[in-house]
Structure 1
Amino acid sequence: MAAVPNGIHNPGTADGWHGVIPSAEFPAERDRYHLYIGLFCQFAHRANFVRHLKGLADFIDISIVKPYPKSDEGWRFPSSDEEYSGATVDHLFGEDYLHKIYFRADPEYKGRYSVPVLWDQKAGTIESAELLRWLPTAFNELLPATLASVDLYPSHLRAKIDSITSWMQDDINFGVYKAGFSPTQEVYEKNVVPVFGALNKIEQIIAQNGGPFVLGKEITELDIRLYATLIRFDVGYAQYFKCNLGTIRHDYPVLNNWLKGMYWDVEASRASTNFKHIKENYTKSTNPNAITHMGPFPDIEEGVERHWSRLVVGGVKHPAVLEYEQTLPNLP
């Protein structure tokens, strides 16, 4: 195994890897990198979404862990590609558990064994887990102009992207987990309110910008961050994380239309979404009887409203939600 480059990871610690493509250590090359993901994980979903959106499937191969069970040894690969639909064997090393990939990069690693993982086959190490910011441009020099021109962090929108990210990441993307894993009733009631305050705010922002994306006509990394959470909301978070002050399809007409548009109009959305993995990750990992809910039906609704002005802005009207909503900043 090649030595881990200095400054990329501190061996024997819980520190993650912080390599970036392209760089001197990690150049953009076809078939050099291998992506490990779980289709259930919203953060791995972001990387897989970009992989499809930017046409990187021919550059980066993929291995997919099963959505359950997660033991003390972490996520497991199926014994064959037929064992569990949508999951795959470890195509690189034939390992049974994801943690063994981490130990290949650092035998003394002491951190979490999470997805996504981007493995460098030449350096014998892992690249950064913070993929969303740099992966969209990492292979531009090798892509056709139509794909290279897809910019998820355009300079003229960066101030708005950064402003929304500052609270959307904490209140929505991580917020559902803070609510779902709250240790007490008091903590839960404190944590669930920001989720819906932020959803109320995003509902208004999309309506003001006229869709079809968060900031208007251009898809940005905000859409990918939001999609990876909201595609799981009604089918998972509302039920198993107790985020049920409202649902996307019932209480948020604009967000629901945005979500339908993302799913049906953006091919990368459908290519990277697997509802079976999403549902069974929650139910069969946390439910002692491993019973998976059938609903809601359908998982995602059809019928995108193309005339956004016809939509009535919705939101959850709980007093604490409305109070929190007022604390969120307006766009610069």
Structure 2
Amino acid sequence: MRGLVAGNWFRQINFEALQQSQTDKTLADQFSFAGYRNWVEPSVLRAQPERYHLYVSYACPFAHRVILMRALLGLEKVISMSVADPYLGGEQGWWFQTPTQASDYDGVTPDELYSASYLHTIYTKADAAYTGRVTVPVLWDKQAETIVSNDSAAIMRMLNRAFGSRPSGTDLYPDSSRSAIDEMNRFIVENINLGVYRVGTADSQTAYESAVGELFEALHHVDSWLKKQPFLVGEQITESDCLLFTTGIRFDVAYYPVLYTSLKRWSDFPNLSAHLQRMLAVEAISATVKLDHYRKHYFDDDAFINRRRLPNGHFIIPL
């Protein structure tokens, strides 16, 4: 795993070697959750949207959620955004286009605030002794020069609470549906958004077969659910649809071949496929899709080389 330890960047951290002391166990724990979970009140965000900036990558499904929210709420000219290159496998992790480091991918930008080459330097600007993962998305406070949050769900909710009720906006978390959205979000995140990674990181044949079975059971359930309505929580797009979409748009092009979620393609599920097409019909959504970024991110990052040899000499084999 990549990350920062006391402000120092490490391309690979060996937690097995570190788990010799309680201190090192605490260190490992710091890599298991989002390092920043602060909250901006809707009134503050509404009054000063230009104070905030997003660091994202189109390749990352968790950052994509926030990009979708920004687009659907019409905030492209209100909240600025820097976009990292899709390739995460280099020595320095997420990186930005610079005069000496050009990206081959459409939509990648420089860091417009500090001209940083690497995202980890943004984390250490916020906290010179930061320990933890260096992830996107990041909501940055330009005035305080610090990270507000790197929790995608919280950033989505902050943006919607502040701007979803505007006449020109789209409320993706309406009062009347909040409990249903919360319940649906929990199911989608645990069983589908994270389920694909449990398949891809399985370290035994048994673990793989269990994970892939659970994933496809969830997909069949949601496919059946979508048979009776166009979106996950009724007749309009909500947060839940954004969560499902970011997995669906990557499934056939990246997860199926790289993570071996290969019992079926997304396009083989009639109602999941129809839902994906309904989402893509929204111009604000389709404009956020970068298939070439997904291919680069998943095929060329060594973190996703998952058909590895096991101690007994066998390989994990897709069913």
The bucket for the TM-score relative to the shorter chain is 0.7 to 0.9
Matched, 1:86 2:111: no
1:74 positional shift: 1.7
Matched, 1:101 2:122: yes
CA distance in 2, matches of 1:42, 1:123: 28
Alignment partner, residue 274 of structure 1: 290
Matched, 1:240 2:258: yes
Paired residue type of 1:214: L
Matched, 1:49 2:54: no
Alignment partner, residue 33 of structure 1: 52
Choose from 62, 66, 83 the match for 2:81.
62
Contact 1:70/1:285, CA 8 A, preserved across alignment:
yes
Alignment partner, residue 198 of structure 1: 218
CA distance in 1, matches of 2:122, 2:179: 37
Choose from 261, 279, 282 the match for 1:262.
279
- Gaps of at least 5 residues in structure 2 are 1-29, 306-319
Contact 1:20/1:26, CA 8 A, preserved across alignment:
no
CA distance in 2, matches of 1:220, 1:56: 17
Contact 1:30/1:58, CA 8 A, preserved across alignment:
no
CA distance in 2, matches of 1:59, 1:38: 19
Alignment partner, residue 299 of structure 2: 283
Alignment partner, residue 300 of structure 1: none
1:168 positional shift: 1.6
Paired residue type of 2:220: N
Q: Secondary structure at the match of 2:227?
A: helix
Alignment partner, residue 227 of structure 1: 245
Paired residue type of 2:110: V
CA distance in 1, matches of 2:243, 2:114: 31
Query: Alpha carbons of 1:219 and 1:18: their partners in 2 closer, same or farther (altered >3 Å)?
Result: same
Tell me the number of residue pairs that the alignment of Structure 1 and Structure 2 aligns: 269
Alignment partner, residue 118 of structure 1: 139
1:86 positional shift: 1.9
CA distance in 1, matches of 2:126, 2:267: 43
Tell me the alpha carbon deviations over residues 106-157 of structure 1, each in whole angstroms, 9 at most, x when there is no partner.
Answer: 111101000001111001111122312222122458x5x121xx22122222
CA distance in 2, matches of 1:254, 1:24: 39
CA RMSD of aligned residues (A): 2.2
Query: Alpha carbons of 1:25 and 1:256: their partners in 2 closer, same or farther (altered >3 Å)?
Result: closer
Alignment partner, residue 162 of structure 2: 138
What is the identity percentage for the equivalent residue pairs of Structure 1 and Structure 2? 36
Matched, 1:182 2:198: no
1:272 positional shift: 1.1
Paired residue type of 2:285: S
1:162 positional shift: 2.2
Tell me the alpha carbon deviations over residues 177-231 of structure 1, each in whole angstroms, 9 at most, x when there is no partner.
Answer: 111111222111111112111111111111122x1x2223111111000001100
Q: Secondary structure at the match of 2:50?
A: coil
Contact 2:184/2:232, CA 8 A, preserved across alignment:
no
Q: Please give the TM-score of this superposition, normalised by the length of structure 2.
A: 0.78
Query: Alpha carbons of 1:23 and 1:133: their partners in 2 closer, same or farther (altered >3 Å)?
Result: closer
1:166 positional shift: 2.2
Contact 1:21/1:135, CA 8 A, preserved across alignment:
no
CA distance in 2, matches of 1:68, 1:280: 6
Query: Alpha carbons of 1:26 and 1:126: their partners in 2 closer, same or farther (altered >3 Å)?
Result: farther
Paired residue type of 1:278: Y
Alignment partner, residue 217 of structure 1: 235
Alignment partner, residue 249 of structure 1: 267
